[in-house]
Structure 1
Amino acid sequence: MATVAGAYTKVEPRPDVLSGTPRAHAVDRWIFVFMAAWFIAITLAGFIPDSIMKVGMVRAGARPPFPLVLHMHAVLMGSFLLLLLAQTSLMATGRRELHMRLGILGMALAGALVAVGFVLAPTMYHETWNALQSAPPNARAKLQELLSIKENILLLQIRIGILFPLFLAIGLRARKGNAGLHKRMIILATVMALPAGIDRIPWLPTALPASPVSVDLYTILAVSPMLVWDVIRNHSLHRAYWIWFAVTLPCAVIVNLLWNTPAWHALARQIMAV
């Protein structure tokens, strides 16, 4: 009798209410589409007001016209984000073959984006440097401050230029044998390029230009919907996040240690050959 009573009073482990449910499978498919759309929204929130303001300054003669390489970078980045949205949508709707064919275009866009980025950074730096050399004395202090800010921003640009293609390469290499790693690494690669848009959102609190710590925090926040869902769904961090944190955290420490130091400003000028 005691045995029967014990059998009825035994508490069974609570089942995973998400496992195998249609809702969970739907989120598994569409979370990556959401991330791509979320990245586009972040980019537009930053660049639309910034672009309107700077176009107004160009028309008023308060700043020089945008260089061609800046337009090229904007078109390539916009195309890459739209392609990411298309690619994630194709996989969510089961059109894998077209997704794979478009992947070739994605690789070409990514390569062009990195190449143009390495031209854009020195172009924008030399624009300010050249203005400083010919500026009247009353304008030199403001231009010198702007040049110092651009030297610090160069740290972030170099980090993007290295980590964006690195994470993309890891994701592309895994595309045939590890779909989970592949799709997460593509998202985690893309988020590395978002600070340029995040930092331009006018209502967002920021530690810039004094410190880059807000850049790192907002980058993690930007990727948090996918990360949080993965933890809820799988009760652990996916391997992709371990790779991402293992690389990005040391880089963040280096950037913060070098930020606004005399040694970095001197090295930045050597890199820019001025």
Structure 2
Amino acid sequence: MPIDIAISPGKVSIPKPSGERLFFTALAATMFMAVVIGFGRTYYLRAFIPPPEFIKPATPLVHLHGLLFSAWIVLFMVQTSLVAAGRRDLHMKLGLTGLPIVLSMILVGTWAALRQVDRLAIPLDPLSWLAVPMLAVVGFGLLFLSALALLRKPAAHKRLMVLGMAAMIGAAFGRIPGMPFLLGAFLLPNIYTVALIAWDVAQTRRPYLSSVLGGLLLLFVTVGPLFIWKSPAWLATARWLHGLL
């Protein structure tokens, strides 16, 4: 493994980021931009720009969810930038703050999704729509915990981190002005699987197993709701979950 910072007498040289580091930083940057643009009108700037009519006033729970999600996307962007800059030491230290944020996101995200059933103002049955955030939370949690388990395998770790973030990014893509909602919320997140596999093949002539398996899970949690949300089995599950409140 090449040394990130080479020190010679009287001279310190910091090599330029590799192509792969720049690639993963670019992926993180697109996610960061999607969150800022997608949630700009509906959350971050709603005090200055009137949100769409179906967006109800934010509750303390919504603000908590927004705070955790915002903290995570900023941390994700910073972490990829640190790796690109060759500062793996800071990356590892700062990564310790990620676990409590993610665990809190899973708990608060689930709670917010269940509470949303009573707040939705869309034509679709709220219990059907519950499949979307619930599968997103499950996919995010499984991919992140898998990435954490593979911390000592950087190639798999960073691919699963990207796919885990993609599992949660559909809500941002679906809110981008001018973006067809179904395209943004359900299909567009899977472009990160395509990008990872294309990069793998270009670099090693074959995709990493983490890109393929993680991508399949991402496909299930993003597109899967379309196939299950009106089924009797899901509606019964959704009623039970909502009843826990």
Correspondence for 1:164 among 123, 126, 140: 140
Tell me what 1:179 maps to.
Answer: 154
**Distance in 1 separating the partners of 2:49 and 2:70:** 22
Pair member with larger Rg: 1
Q: CA deviation at 1:196?
A: 0.9
TM-score for the superposition, normalised by structure 1: 0.72
Q: CA deviation at 1:227?
A: 3.5
Spell out, residue by residue over 1:35-76, the C-alpha distance to the aligned partner (whole angstroms, 9 max, x if none).
111101111221112335687668xx9975311111111111
Alignment gaps of 5+ in structure 1: 1-23, 129-142, 208-212
Spell out, residue by residue over 1:172-192, the C-alpha distance to the aligned partner (whole angstroms, 9 max, x if none).
11112x110011111111110
Q: Contact 2:65/2:108 (CA < 8 Å) preserved in 1?
A: yes
Q: Identify if the C-alpha distance between structure 1 residues 193 and 117 changes in structure 2 by more than 3 Å, giving closer, same or farther.
A: same
Amino acid at match of 2:200: D
SS of residue in 2 equivalent to 1:80: helix
Q: What is the number of residues matched between the two proteins?
A: 227
Amino acid at match of 2:139: L
Tell me what 2:83 maps to.
Answer: 91
Q: Contact 1:30/1:92 (CA < 8 Å) preserved in 2?
A: yes
Identity of matched residues, %: 24
Spell out, residue by residue over 1:90-130, the C-alpha distance to the aligned partner (whole angstroms, 9 max, x if none).
111111111111111011111111111011112222235xx
Q: Contact 2:79/2:91 (CA < 8 Å) preserved in 1?
A: yes
Task: Find runs of 4+ consecutive structure 1 residues off by over 4 angstroms.
Answer: 52-58, 61-64, 249-254
Q: Contact 2:169/2:189 (CA < 8 Å) preserved in 1?
A: yes
SS of residue in 2 equivalent to 1:272: helix
Q: CA deviation at 1:264?
A: 3.6
Question: Which structure has the higher relative contact order (CA within 8 Å, separation 6+)?
Answer: 1
Tell me what 1:71 maps to.
Answer: 63
Correspondence for 1:218 among 167, 172, 188: 188
Amino acid at match of 1:219: P
Matched, 1:232 2:224: no
**Distance in 2 separating the partners of 1:35 and 1:64:** 31
Amino acid at match of 2:198: V
Matches within 5 A, 1:243-262: 243-251=213-221, 254-261=224-231
Spell out, residue by residue over 1:170-224, the C-alpha distance to the aligned partner (whole angstroms, 9 max, x if none).
1111112x110011111111110001111111311243xxxxx764421112454
Q: Contact 2:174/2:181 (CA < 8 Å) preserved in 1?
A: yes
SS of residue in 1 equivalent to 2:177: coil
Q: Contact 1:33/1:89 (CA < 8 Å) preserved in 2?
A: yes
Q: Identify if the C-alpha distance between structure 1 residues 240 and 268 changes in structure 2 by more than 3 Å, giving closer, same or farther.
A: same
Tell me what 1:110 maps to.
Answer: 102
Q: Contact 2:31/2:169 (CA < 8 Å) preserved in 1?
A: yes
> Root-mean-square deviation (CA), in Å?
2.9
Q: Contact 1:155/1:255 (CA < 8 Å) preserved in 2?
A: yes
**Distance in 1 separating the partners of 2:118 and 2:224:** 25
TM-score for the superposition, normalised by structure 2: 0.80
